[in-house]
Chain A
Amino acid sequence: MKIYPRQHHRVLQVITRLMVPFVLMFGLYVQFHGDYGPGGGFQAGVIFASAFILYGLIFGLHRTRKVLPPSTLRWLVSFGVLLYAGTGLLTMLLGGNLLDYDVLASNPLSGQHWGIFAVELGVGITVTSVMISLFYGFASKR
């Protein structure tokens, strides 16, 4: 990947700076709105990752890596899966079936709420970090 000199593409750089916070915000909205309306971890993860990928395309891999180093990403990939699996194991420990969120809180309704929240968060984190890892992996090849 060629890293363009900074003085070129001034328009793109300014627009990117403007866009990235909104993209991240929209990603978070889709993530946390997913338990009551359309949305969820998969979509939110991809949107969230696209902000980082856009930043990487315009400002170069080097600067993106400073924001989110690959070692952190590897940790996040595992953490997301573990959050999902951990929620499943927790529901089993609390006496329910696998991913039976009813047992997570005092009443089934808030239990379902917490359960789907944790699981979708796990999915979102993993999808985000996997997408960014893929971008790092391919973009660093010449």
Chain B
Amino acid sequence: MATVLGFYNYWVVIVLMMAGLYILISRYNLIKKMIGLSIFQTSIFYLYISIGKVENGTAPILNDDPATIYSNPLPHVLILTAIVVGVATTAVALALSVRIYENYGTIEEDEIRALNAGEHEL
């Protein structure tokens, strides 16, 4: 039991990741797919942030007491970059969805596939 609860951050990551992947695979709607992808990416952000925590560590801001234990700031810096990348990915995907909607009149993947199959190959 202790091993299960002791690693609760990993369990949260696994549950979030699987939920995201499941949405990504099972939904046809492009926006829902993007929601799944975002959840999937968020789970990775969470993993990074949770492994940066040091027991009894404070925020990594230098103070005068030499005995202070700091949390590791590097994973946070890294994941800040990854979050920005995630935002950019979402923006590109939404822009594409808008363009797809303008061109096809739908954002359901199965309907788009049917429309594509109807077009003569040129």
Contact = CB atoms under 8 A, between A and B. Distances in A.
Contact of A134 (B59, B80, B84, B91): B91
Interface residues of A, number: 8
Given A127-B84, A137-B95, A138-B94, 4 more contacts: A37-B61, A42-B84, A138-B95, A141-B98
Contacts, number: 12
Interface of A: 37-38, 42, 127, 134, 137-138, 141
A38 B70 CA distance: 14
Interface size bracket, B side:
under 10
Interface of B: 59, 61, 80, 84, 91, 94-95, 98
Contacts of A138: 94-95, 98
A38 B61 contact: yes
A15 B115 CA distance: 48
Contact of A38 (B59, B91, B94): B59
A50 to B, nearest CB: 13
B98 A42 contact: no
Contacts of B61: 37-38
Q: Which 3 A-B pairs have the closest CB atoms?
A: A134-B91, A141-B98, A42-B80
B68 to A, nearest CB: 16
